[in-house]
Amino acid sequence: MLEKLRRRAREKMVVFHYGGDTIAELLGTTDCTARKLGLEQVYSKAERTRRKTEREATATRLLASGSLTIGKDVFFMSL
């Protein structure tokens, strides 16, 4: 894949618009490395799904405990 990109770049000026998962793959960044480094853009689709699930579980737990309330287009958190 990387060689194909290099060939296209040599043929003409190419502007790349890749997602974080593609960049992670090209750089060989593992999900474990992304977590350790706190990367917020460069990680796989599997890691994206895991993070989304974790955020939703946290929000559900906070809603159930009453620590998080929902207003119009706004979340309020009790400290």
Per-residue tens of pLDDT for the chain, all 79 residues: 778 777 777 777 667 788 999 999 999 999 999 999 999 999 999 999 999 999 989 988 988 888 877 776 666 666 5
| pLDDT in the model for residue 76 | 63
Strands 74-77 and 68-71: antiparallel
| pLDDT in the model for residue 70 | 76
Residue type for position 57:
A
Task: Point out which residues pair with 75 in neighbouring strands.
Answer: 70
Q: Are 53 and 72 in contact (CB under 8 A)?
A: no
| pLDDT in the model for residue 32 | 94
Return the closest-CA partner of residue 44 out of 54, 30, 55.
30
Q: How many Å separate Cα 44 from the centre of its chain?
A: 7
| pLDDT in the model for residue 46 | 93
Contacts of 1 (CB under 8 A, 6+ apart): 25, 26
The kind and range of the H/E element at 61 are: helix 45-65
| pLDDT in the model for residue 34 | 93
| pLDDT in the model for residue 38 | 92
